[in-house]
Amino acid sequence: MSKMILASGSPRRRELLRQMGLSEFEIRPPEVDEGFPSGLTPRETVEYISRKKCAAAAETSAPDEIVVAADTMVFVDGAPLGKPADEADALRMLTLLQGRGHLVCTGVSVCGEGRTLTESESTEVFFRPAGREELLAYIRTGEPMDKAGAYGVQGLGALLVEGIRGDFYNVMGLPILRLSRMLERFGIRFLN
């Protein structure tokens, strides 16, 4: 089997790869500008960034290595919400999300064997109404500060989520079913 490289420093993505049964992989987060051209759809945006991350990590990889890169963003009314700059920004984002739905998109790219596959997954997430004091208490936990949209569905942020339509793991940052199907095209098999 080819050596796998995870082009991400995300502990959640690491955990999800292990959940898929992949225990042997190297973590190699690339340094890339995560900017993107204007006018892209949410899916095109995360696919563009994941391709950039994958290409940057692939530059230093060996011919027998398979690189996996992902980018997750939250979109409200088509506008992206990245990671909050500070606590005030986290409050702005969480206030915008509460009591309504939003879209979580993850672009996934797999590079190796002289080719790159890029796909994306979209999931609708619905927040319950929450008051300012509750949102501030959540922000004080520190959990929102390194997450797109200022929340983590796998942590205390789950207390704000009323419902999810689509892939739960996508909201965590890595759509594992989609990724498993992509990796099968590189000869990496699961459940057999």
Please list, in sequence order, all residues whose beta carbon lies within 8 angstroms of the beta carbon of residue 155, skipping any fewer than 6 positions away.
143
**pLDDT above 70: residue 1:** no
58: Cα within 13 Å, side-chain hemisphere: 21
- Summarize pLDDT for 64-119 with one digit per residue, the tens: 899 999 999 999 998 999 889 999 999 999 999 999 999 999 999 999 989 999 99
Quick check: is 93 in a domain?
A: yes
- Helix extents (H) in the chain: 11-19, 42-58, 87-97, 132-140, 168-172, 176-184
Quick check: is 191 in a domain?
A: no
Domain count for the chain, please give it. 1
> How far does Cα 108 stand from its chain's mean position?
8
- The active-site residue out of 33, 64, 71, 77 is 71
Quick check: is 69 in a domain?
A: yes
**pLDDT above 90: residue 61:** no
Is 50 within 8 Å of 6 (Cβ atoms)?
A: no
Annotated active-site residue 71? The verdict is yes
Q: How far apart are CA 148 and CA 10, in angstroms?
A: 12
Any idea of the CA torsion for 12, 15, 20, 24, to the nearest 10 degrees? Answer: 120
Quick check: is 99 in a domain?
A: yes
Which residues constitute the domain of residue 65?
A: 3-184
Q: Which residues pair with 76 in a beta bridge?
A: 79
Q: How far apart are CA 32 and CA 64, in angstroms?
A: 23
- Summarize pLDDT for 116-141 with one digit per residue, the tens: 999 999 999 999 999 999 999 999 99
* DSSP state letters, 10-34: -HHHHHHHHHTT---EEE-------
Encoded amino acid at 134, one letter: E
**pLDDT above 90: residue 63:** no
Quick check: is 91 in a domain?
A: yes
Structure tokens at 178: 């989609």
Encoded amino acid at 15, one letter: E
Quick check: is 48 in a domain?
A: yes
CATH of residue 54: 3.90.950.10
Mean pLDDT, the chain, integer:
94
Quick check: is 192 in a domain?
A: no
